[in-house]
Amino acid sequence: MADQPYHAGADGWLVAAAAVVGSPEDPEFVYAWDRTLSPAYEAAVFDGFDTFGSDDFNTGRVEAGVLVWWGWMRERHPDEDRRDAADALGIPHTRPGAPGA
């Protein structure tokens, strides 16, 4: 299965490069991604190395259009980071109708 464009309802893995902007007292992460999802984690990591030239990128798991996992390689980041990344990427972090949605 080939990469597919992100859309509501999509499943797959994404890769995104992060940059820190703002002051040291009030930093903010911004992300760059091509809005495509790979069908498998390994394919996403390959795409990340190919696109960014190093392992300096994050990986995310999308299920039904919702970012459900966020991290670096196989290291999972806290849920707060996942929610912040989803907001910065412009994708949902909770399923519609779920508590906190």
Rg (CA), the chain: 13
Rounded Cα–Cα distance for residues 45 and 29 (Å):
20
Residue 65 backbone phi and psi in degrees, to 5? 80, 5
To the nearest 10°, the Cα dihedral for 85, 77, 73, 26? Answer: 50
Q: How much of the chain is in helix, strand and coil states, percent to nearest 5?
A: 25, 40, 40
pLDDT at residue 4, rounded to an integer: 87
pLDDT at residue 15, rounded to an integer: 97
Domain boundaries, the chain: 4-89
What are the average pLDDT values for consecutive 10-residue runs of the chain, which has 101 residues? Answer: 83 94 90 94 95 94 96 95 94 74 48
- Name the nearest CA neighbour of 87 among 66, 71, 64: 66
Rounded Cα–Cα distance for residues 76 and 22 (Å):
25
pTM for the complete prediction?
0.86
